Amino acid sequence: MTVIWVVLGTMGAVVLAVASSYNRFVRQRNLIRDSWSNIDTELRRRHDLIPNLVETVEGYAVHEREVLSEVTEARAAAVGYMEPAGTVRGSEPTAAQAGAENALVGSLRSLLAVAERYPDLKADTAFLALQDELTNTEDRIQAARRFYNANVRAYNQRVESVPSNAIASVFGFRTDRFFDVEPVPRERPPTATL
C-alpha cells in the first residue's frame, strides 16, 4: 500500500511540475507579447511624427525632394509591416520589419543632415519641437526594445535549458527573435575648432 502512495505522490508531483512549467512558459510568452505592444506603440508614434517633420523641412528645403521622398517611402514601408491597431499578433517581430525600421532610421538621418544645411530651419520652433518629440520617442523606443529583448532573453534561456526544454518541446514553445533597430541620432556631435 505504501508503494502505491509513493507512486501516486510521485506522479502527482510530476504533473504539478509540468503544469507549473507550462504555465510559466505561457506567462513569459504573454509578457513578451505585452512588451512587444510597447514597442509597437512607440513605433506608431514615430511614424505619426514623420509627416509633420517632412512637411516642416519641406517648407525650408524645397530643393531636397529626393531626401523628402526617401523618408516618405521608408515610412510607408515601415508602416506596411505594422499589424492593424488593436490586433493581437505573435510575439516575434519579423526580420523584414526590423529592416524596414532601420531603413527608416537611415532616411531620417539623411533628413536631419539636410536640416543642418539650413540655419533658418534649425532655428524654427516647430522644427525644434518636432525634433525634441522625435528624440523623446526614440528614447522610448530604445527603452521598450531593451525591455522586450530582456524578456525574450529570459524566455529563450528557459526554452533551451534542461529540464524545461523538454516541456517546451512537448508543448511547442520555440525561441523568440530579438528586435534590433538603430536609434535616430539626436544631433550631430560638435566639431572641434582649432
pLDDT for 90: 54
- Work out the angle at residue 83's Cα, subtended by the Cα atoms of residues 112 and 30, and round it to the nearest 5 degrees: 110
Among residues 74, 69, 62, the alpha carbon closest in space to that of 118 is found at 62
pLDDT for 59: 86
Check if CATH label 1.20.58.390 holds for domain 2-82+89-171: no
pLDDT for 89: 54
CA pair distance 89, 25, nearest whole angstrom: 17
b vs e for 35-56, b when ≥16 Cβ sit within 10 Å of the residue's Cβ? bbbbbbebbeebbebbeebbeb
User: How many CA atoms lie less than 13 Å away from 101 in the CB half-sphere?
Assistant: 26
The answer to whether the bond into 163 is cis (omega within 30° of 0) is: yes
pLDDT for 179: 92
pLDDT for 92: 59
Q: Show Cβ contacts of residue 158 under 8 Å, excluding neighbours closer than 6 positions.
A: 24, 25, 28, 164, 168
What global pTM score does this model have? 0.83
pLDDT for 95: 82
Say which residue the cell 522610448 belongs to: 140
Angle of helix 125-160 relative to helix 164-171, nearest 10 degrees?
Answer: 100
Tens of pLDDT along the chain (194 residues) come to 889 999 999 999 999 999 999 999 999 999 999 999 999 999 999 999 999 999 999 888 878 889 999 999 999 999 998 876 655 555 457 788 899 999 999 999 999 888 888 888 888 899 999 999 999 999 999 999 999 999 999 999 999 999 999 999 999 999 999 998 888 776 544 444 44
